[in-house]
């Protein structure tokens, strides 16, 4: 059984998140995007958990279902602690096999911070102590380090991360099976780093609004159509496997290049190293981005592949692609109308972006659509890399019209 999953999202109870991130809206958009399994996000938040229990119905295979969409119980937690004379900040994605496990996990985490203040709670505890408590009460919860390369709050981040995994997870490292690569990197970049050879690479959207669902996703092949098989695929136990990921261009991410947002400075790793990591305008430290950190830890040449790595395809959210075609904001009414028309006519957004034969778009009434989809699939988008929290800029080449 092939399923497309987006397990890393947030509810309306997380900071800087759309108020429309409730289960009915998430289910509606998951169908529209073409996502088979979506995470609930934020199960540690008490009010959100009550919403989940009211809106989701248990179904065969261990799934929770709303309007035909399968859900898995997920949450993200932020850890902050001091280790080796540095402040460490880490985000972890949790995937629980059942409501009872999610509630036990919530109880275990409640001793480290206020869970009701934010859907993604901030916990003042080191990673080892947190995992001791979590797995002591809820051993079935899968833990995935989130967006592992971003400068802030990540496993390898330049501002607060580590240079190896064992320094973070210690004796728990054998139970870390998968890592989320984040929007600013792709599998080709991660393939340069051999310490990830034993990890399953996954990609999810980290969506804070419904339209962001599925901007990155992971394709699983499951032996049985069950949540247990999906968790087994993450753990590599043979019940399923990751066969493909969908990735935005890493340059589109907010932290691909180095830079200093306040001064409008965007630099490649080569340029920033020549400046000793200092902003050429104000002299302050640059935020070193994902490409820089991958280079720091890389022990392989560009284009290397991780052992048994899945394939991947590059996409851009359909709203963003259509905005390039029509020359209007991705949030505009005109773009939304075109996206609704396309999904009604051709199927889901992922179908239009990745699977529909290009020739089927030749007669579409939107001029330039066929060329834009071809350009996306051929990897010919014009990209100006993101940096220091600023999304990268995307444009169509002159011949895509």
What's the mean pLDDT in 217-225? Answer: 97
Mean pLDDT, all residues of the chain: 96
Q: What is the pLDDT of residue 399?
A: 84
The answer to whether the beta carbons of residues 9 and 203 sit under 8 Å apart is: no
C-alpha separations of 2 from 37, 72, 201, 240, 396 in Å: 11, 16, 17, 10, 32
pLDDT tens-digit map of 44-75: 999 999 999 999 999 999 999 999 999 999 99
* pLDDT-derived band at 301, boundaries 50, 70, 90: confident
Q: Cα(197)–Cα(382) distance, rounded to whole angstroms?
A: 31
Which of 290, 297, 265, 291 shows the shortest CA–CA distance to 278? 265
* pLDDT-derived band at 238, boundaries 50, 70, 90: confident
Exposed / middle / buried, residue 369 (Cβ in 10 Å: 0-12, 13-18, 19+): buried
Q: What is the pLDDT of residue 307?
A: 58
Please state whether the predicted TM-score (pTM) of the whole model is above 0.75: yes
Q: What is the pLDDT of residue 64?
A: 98
Domains of the chain: 2-252 (3.20.20.140), 317-380 (no CATH)
Q: What is the pLDDT of residue 172?
A: 98
Minimum mean pLDDT range among 98-107, 119-128, 231-240, 282-291 = 231-240
Neighbours of 80 (CB within 10 A): 16
pLDDT surpassing 90 at residue 401: no
What's the mean pLDDT in 359-371? Answer: 94
* pLDDT-derived band at 303, boundaries 50, 70, 90: low
Determine the distance from the C-alpha atom of residue 16 to the mean position of all C-alpha atoms in its chain, rounded to a whole number: 16
Q: What is the pLDDT of residue 306?
A: 58
What's the mean pLDDT in 230-247? Answer: 94
């Amino acid at each position: 059984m092939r399923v497309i999953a987006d397990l890393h999202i947030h509810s309306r109870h997380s900071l800087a998140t759309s108020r429309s991130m409730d289960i009915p809206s998430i289910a509606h958009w998951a169908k529209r995007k073409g996502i088979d399994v979506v995470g609930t996000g934020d199960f540690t938040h008490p009010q959100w958990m009550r919403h989940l229990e009211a809106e989701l119905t248990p179904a065969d295979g261990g799934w929770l279902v709303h309007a035909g969409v399968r859900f898995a119980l997920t949450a993200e937690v932020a850890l902050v602690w001091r280790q080796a004379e540095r402040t460490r900040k880490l985000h972890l994605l949790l995937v629980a096999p059942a409501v009872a496990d999610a509630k036990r996990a919530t109880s275990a985490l409640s001793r480290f911070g206020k869970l009701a203040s934010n859907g993604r709670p901030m916990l003042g505890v080191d990673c080892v102590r947190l995992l001791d408590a979590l797995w002591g009460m809820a051993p079935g919860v899968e833990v995935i380090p989130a967006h592992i390369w971003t400068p802030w709050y990540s496993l390898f981040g330049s501002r607060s991360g580590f240079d190896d995994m064992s320094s973070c997870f210690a004796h728990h490292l054998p139970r870390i099976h998968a890592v989320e690569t984040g929007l600013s990197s792709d599998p080709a970049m991660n393939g340069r780093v051999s310490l990830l050879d034993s990890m399953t690479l996954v990609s999810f959207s980290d969506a804070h609004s419904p339209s962001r669902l599925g901007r990155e996703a992971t394709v699983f092949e499951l032996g049985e159509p069950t949540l247990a098989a999906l968790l087994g695929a993450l753990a590599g136990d043979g019940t399923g496997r990751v066969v493909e990921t969908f990735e935005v261009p890493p340059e589109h991410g907010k932290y691909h290049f180095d830079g200093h947002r306040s001064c409008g400075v965007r630099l490649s790793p080569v340029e920033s190293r020549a400046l000793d990591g200092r902003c050429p305008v104000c002299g302050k430290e640059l935020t070193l981005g994902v490409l820089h950190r991958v280079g720091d830890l890389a022990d392989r040449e560009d284009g290397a592949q991780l052992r048994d790595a899945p394939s991947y395809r590059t996409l851009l959210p359909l709203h963003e692609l259509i905005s390039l075609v029509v020359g209007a904001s991705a949030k505009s009414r005109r773009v939304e109308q075109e996206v609704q028309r396309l999904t009604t006519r051709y199927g889901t957004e992922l179908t239009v972006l990745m699977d529909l034969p290009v020739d089927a778009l030749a007669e579409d009434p939107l001029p330039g659509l066929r060329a834009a989809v071809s350009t996306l699939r051929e990897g010919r988008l014009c990209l100006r890399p993101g940096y220091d929290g600023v999304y990268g800029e995307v444009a169509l080449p002159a011949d895509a019209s």
